[in-house]
Amino acid sequence: MKKEHIGDEGYTYLLSGKRVPKAHPLIEAIGSLDELNSLLGVARSLVSDDEVKSVLFKVQRSIFDVGKVLAGISGEPVKRSLDSYVSWFDELTSNYWGKLSEPKNVFVIPSGCGGGEFLHYARAVCRRVERVLVKLKEFMEVPPGVLKYINRLSDLLYVLARYVNQKNKCEELL
């Protein structure tokens, strides 16, 4: 007789060993983070700028820390690292914002080339992750550092998308 997989029944296990339905808002949040991480991998493969590639790789690694915090398996050092990431995101956002040519304060239709369009897409997914996390707060406590991390990451992704597009001389649709 074949052993049944718990996933076949619509459940999954957290790394902590807790069994939860796949439709649980926590699983939606963790899955959305995974989607964001995968999309950043696509964007990274299309970006030609080595510095931006390095930033995106570090962001991808940091997303695993966010997942750990959400799954409740992290200790205090990981939670503190979220604050470090937020500071790093703020620094990077300011740095890349300073490299943008005018206009800076405009609405941009997500588009571009050289990975810029995928960074815009990643920003949109990041904003969805933020909405999922806010909804998750109705069911359980979400560590405050997680929302701050996601909010600042979406800002960074917007600026990186514009930077990559401008560096590749891609037309921005304002």
**Which CATH number fits the domain that encloses residue 77?**
1.20.1200.10
- At residue 61, does pLDDT exceed 70? yes
What band does 1 get if pLDDT is binned at 50, 70 and 90? Answer: very low
Q: Which domain holds residue 76?
A: 24-167
Q: Is residue 163 domain-resident?
A: yes
Give a yes or no: residue 157 inside a domain.
yes
Per-residue pLDDT band at 78 (split at 50, 70, 90): low
Top-confidence residue, 18 or 96: 96
Give residue 106's pLDDT band: very low, low, confident or very high (50, 70, 90). confident
DSSP string, 139-169: TS---HHHHHHHHHHHHHHHHHHHHHHHHTT
> Has residue 174 been placed in a domain?
no
Is residue 39 in some structural domain?
yes
Number of domains in the chain: 1
Task: Tell me whether residue 75 is in a domain.
Answer: yes
pTM for the model stands at: 0.90
Tell me, yes or no, whether 95 lies in a domain: yes
pLDDT at 162: 95
State both tokens at 52. 């931006």
Query: Do residues 69 and 136 touch, judged by C-beta distance below 8 A?
Result: no
Q: Is residue 1 in a domain?
A: no
The reply to whether 172 falls in a domain is no
**13: which strand partners?**
19
| 90: CB partners within 8 A, 6+ apart | 152
Q: Is the peptide bond before 21 cis (omega within 30 degrees of 0)?
A: no
